[in-house]
Structure 1
Amino acid sequence: MRLDFNPAFCGIDHVKYHGLVRGKHSIAVVQGRGPMTLTLTAIETVSNSESATITVAAGAVSGAVGFDVTKSRTKSMAGSWNVPRGKFGTLNAYPLYKKYSFNVYSKITGRSVGKGTALKAVGYRYEHSAR
């Protein structure tokens, strides 16, 4: 549940970096039966993002985490994988993000009023499978 609180009275603190995380949904895929080399080449737009349990200004989050949480980037990608003979292979590309968490506090009381996460798009992660 997301609470409404005047974003002008919110501050961000306790920013913590959690490492690289894969996006939830594949943004490009190729498939084929081996023996063959699957090659995935594409230009995709991926976006930074933020979410919080309370309404907070994107500018405040951007300032705290050190990047613009509203920015999108268009990046090219290229990857390949050799599918074994007799197998049907799939090569997926997922967005790759740097993940940060943060605390939202009231500038009036100094108390914590929520928490959130911010994701910075940095590249792609490839995953393959064969059956």
Structure 2
Amino acid sequence: MRLGSRLRGEFPRGWWRSARWWITGIRELALSTVAAVATVVFVGEMVRVVRHHDEPLVISRLLGTFEGYVASLLVNGAGLGVLVAMAIEDGLPVSPGAVALTALLTAWCLLNIAVSAVVFVVVARSRIR
């Protein structure tokens, strides 16, 4: 597929005047951002994808984009790495508030990684087949 035909697919004639094009683009961007930062919100979506893992039509209607889930793996993996590096560098936090915050952030990153990893594996398995 040539670059010109790909661009015409992404930017159809009159795209700048199309409210539908703008709304769809903004919605996809917002869902990808939420999927990258707060993947835990999509636990129901993860369960639906796992339940229907052999139905490509259901997987193709995934809420949020696949790239958002991959970004979640990268962002939350980096966040977890930073938390581990901070714990190693400074030692364990002394104040109870710092301990609670560190535990909360670690749990948040681990939950996001778990949800996005499950979605990633199911979608990748579906695309490979």
TMscore range, shorter length: under 0.3
| Between structures 1 and 2, the one with greater strand share | 1
TM score, norm. by length of structure 2: 0.23
Greater length-normalized contact order (CA 8 Å, ≥ 6 residues apart): 1
| Between structures 1 and 2, the one with greater helix share | 2
TM score, norm. by length of structure 1: 0.23
